Amino acid sequence: MEILWIATCEVSVEPGVLDSGRTLAFTNIVTWGKSSEDALAKIRARFAEYKWTLIGCEQINPVDHE
């Protein structure tokens, strides 16, 4: 069964993508997954669609449904 995960991720983007001109950013991502590894694979795949690179995640936790 998939559950919701929230991840704080560092991402590298192509020059010119961010208005600031920077190429590194942190973002919070919420996605469905069967495990933290599954959620990270989905995040990595989605970022690749935009030619972004997932550098790493500082934390990834299941969303508390209560």
pTM: 0.84
What's the pLDDT tens digit per position in 5-48?
Answer: 999 999 999 898 888 889 999 999 999 999 999 999 999 999 99
Residue 66 reports pLDDT greater than 80: no
Question: Who contacts 19 (Cβ-Cβ below 8 Å, separation ≥6)?
Answer: none
State the pLDDT at residue 18. Answer: 83
Domain count, the chain: 1
- Residue 43: DSSP 8-state: H
| Full domain range(s) for residue 36 | 3-62
The residue-averaged pLDDT of 49-65 equals: 91
Question: What is the per-residue pLDDT across 36-45, written as a single tens digit (0 to 9) for each?
Answer: 999 999 999 9
